[in-house]
Structure 1
Amino acid sequence: MPKTSKSKRRSLPVTARSSAGSAVPLPPIHVDGHEKVIIDTQSLASLPLVGKLGKSSTETRRRINHFHTLIKEYSKLAALRSKAPAPEIDEKIECVEREMAQMGGLDWYQKASLLGQCKSRGGDTSRWLVPKLRDLGLHKRGGKLRLLDVGALSCLNYAKERAWVDVVPIDLNSQEQGIYQQDFLDIGKQLVDGQTGEDEDDDISHLFEQPFDVICLSLVVNFIGDPVRRGDMLKQATRLLAPDGLLFLVLPLSCVTNSRYLDDERLLAIAQHLGLEQLSMHHTAKLAHYLYRLSRPESTESGHFKKKMLYSAAGRNNFSIVI
């Protein structure tokens, strides 16, 4: 496989400019059948920003959920356009692009999520994971745990555990200098293709040369609009985990309690298919926490998990994970 030029080697979020000149990152959209769809931001250059952080946790969560809806809508429309281009589809796509940009794009989403991580807005999910790691005796095993924090909102989430946890925090659009800018689904491509950053000092591929003892996917799988790419994230985690490594997965509670296509039982079956053993599950008023151990290789059986209707009641959402 030929190497790409250095100018294209890093996977950075697409950005637009507001009328005030501030950066408005837009998320790389994963679409069925495509690696990513790049949003043309030229027509968005003069859009005024109207995205605001909610005054309450309910309002912030409502706006975050709406941003998720826009990403899913864009993914569906882009998939339709790739199969049968039509002017009306292009118009709908442009409307979604504009609304995401006006909300503030990925930068707004990250700031809203940071606000939601405050103790008064639901807390830091790492505080649920750390006691589980201690219960397993991993703080006494000798040597530091290698932990990959995907979609990290703060590089200080595991600061209290720095004596026994070595954290690699990554995100598409880092809000802190200590968080590496990296697409989780791109990890491994740099090693296979021999790719590096634009500058040698920016190359972080060495961070992923060794497997991880723990991978945290906290409120990031639901950010992907394409159900197949959500499954790809779980498969990627199993590829990057060491034997007996742990996967910490957090989803909005509604993804498993109010979906037409997913519930705890279905999610457990998917995990088992990928060679993951469920160690713990816990639901709060807003979140669903899961801790898995990689106990065996992914199943080679043909019974992959396609989108399947489980509940047909009105008012349910369409969240699903496809393997």
Structure 2
Amino acid sequence: MPKASKSKRRSVPVTARSAAGEAVPLPPIHVDGHEKVIINSQHLASLPLVGKLGKSSTETRRRINHFHTLIKEYSKLAALRAKAPALEIDERIELVEREMAQMGGLDWYQKASLLGQCKSRGGDTSRWLVPKLRDLDLHKKEGKLRLLDVGALSCLNYAKERAWIDVVPIDLNSQEPGIYQQDFLDIGKQANDGQTRAGEDEEDGDISHLFETPFDVICLSLVVNFIGDPVRRGDMLKQATRLLAPGGLLFLVLPLSCVTNSRYLDDERLLAIAQHLGLEKLHMHHTAKLAHYLYRLSSSATRSTEEDGQFKKKMLHSAPGRNNFSIVI
């Protein structure tokens, strides 16, 4: 039998309901060929919220990985719909939307990630970075280091170093009053989107002055892998080089599987991408779950950040069971 006609969709972010009854937004999706795609769907307030935090680090990580998978799937479907709209694609998108909303959306994802920062579950990655900064004698530098913490889950990550580090923490969906709600890829755009520190009223809602001076350190810890589009992942690295001061440091953290179990990326490929952007490797360290990288932006290298097409998606390892994570420049 023919399906009943669907009611007209409203262009609003997908939401679920938290235990307190508050709307929980899902993130905008960066799709190849589009600046940003907001997930469109009917309000899903009636959906049961099943996005509980896992009782173990293994369970929490499994759910976080599944949320990543859903975002990648949505990104692919949104790109297909942009090229050739079809009812079948819309139905598949709605299924993905509903599952992300049922998990609790970005709010759940961030709370799960924040739980992963506690010492019993590995600690936050800033504890790896700070000793490296001290080894470089940057704690003795005249004036404070300006550090941009992208995707910040807590404004306390560098609290012990406040005497010599001035942190600007930002995130798409701020969880604390001390974190600015700001899309990293939107920094530098002329239009003011009225982004403010969560829970506060900045004068005129404008925080652009925070990004007028180049940063000494930019932290991209477990945020590049959150974006489903490989091109936008490359855009994040390019944006970092634009916002860094000459000689500034880029701290990049990826899930270990992104470089040890991918068909399209490994340490050698990542280093080549970094060098292409004018970055030299200072440190690399793998743990059981994470890959840490510390790069310095060369003050003399000629950077070709606008020469796209240098690093397309290329098969490096064809063994079965590998994932499809990649970074495209």
> Structure 2: which 5+ residue stretches go unaligned?
none
Q: 1:4 to 1:159 in 2, by over 3 A?
A: farther
Identity, % of aligned positions: 91
Q: C-alpha displacement at 1:52, in angstroms? A: 1.0
SS of match in other structure, 2:192: helix
Change (3 A) 1:6 1:277: farther
**Structure 1 residue 81 displacement after superposition:** 0.7
User: How big is each residue's C-alpha offset from its partner over 1:58-83, in whole Å with a ceiling of 9 and x where there is no partner?
Assistant: 00000000000000000000001111
Contact 1:3–1:193 (CA<8 Å) still a contact in 2?
A: no
1:248-306, CA deviations, whole angstroms, 9 ceiling, x for partnerless residues?
00000000000000000000000000000000000000000000000534237676100
In structure 2, what is the Cα distance between the partners aligned to 1:7 and 1:131? Answer: 57
User: How far did residue 13 of structure 1 move?
Assistant: 7.2
Who is 1:155 aligned against?
155
8 Å contact kept, 2:149–2:218:
yes
Pick from 280, 303, 310: which aligns with 2:309? 303
* Greater displacement, 57-66 / 300-309: 300-309
Higher relative contact order at CA 8 Å, sep ≥6: structure 1 or structure 2?
1
Moved more, 173-182 or 9-18: 9-18
Paired residue total: 323
Change (3 A) 1:7 1:163: farther
Match in the other structure for 1:223: 226
Classify 1:304/1:8 alpha carbon distance in 2 versus 1 (closer, same or farther; 3 Å).
farther
Q: 2 CA distance for matches of 1:9 and 1:179?
A: 32
Q: Is the 8 A contact 1:231 1:322 kept in 2?
A: yes
Q: TM-score, normalised by structure 1?
A: 0.91
Residues 6 and 198 of structure 1 are in contact (CA less than 8 Å); yes or no, is this contact kept in structure 2? Answer: no
Deviations 1:55-112 (A, max 9, x none): 0000000000000000000000000111111111111000000000000000000000
Evaluate the alpha carbon distance shift between residue 268 and residue 13 of structure 1 in structure 2; reply closer, same or farther with a 3 A threshold.
farther
Tell me by how many angstroms 1:41 deviates: 3.9
Q: RMSD between aligned alpha carbons?
A: 6.3
Is 1:76 equivalent to 2:76 in the alignment?
A: yes
Mapped partners of 1:195, 1:46: distance in 2: 29
Counterpart of 1:256 in structure 2 is 259
- Whether the aligned pair in 1 keeps the contact of 2:9 and 2:42 (CA below 8 Å) is no
Of Structure 1 and Structure 2, which has the larger fraction of its residues in helix?
A: 1
Q: Give 1:43 deviation, angstroms.
A: 3.9
Whether the 8 Å contact between 2:263 and 2:324 is mirrored in structure 1 is yes
Conserved in 1, the CA contact under 8 Å of 2:148 and 2:219? Answer: yes
**Residues 13 and 172, structure 1, Cα contact 8 Å, conserved in 2:** no
Where do residues 142-291 of structure 1 align in structure 2 (5 Å cutoff)?
142-190=142-190, 201=203, 203-291=206-294
Distance 1:254 1:89, change over 3 A: same
Question: What's the counterpart of residue 86 of structure 1?
Answer: 86
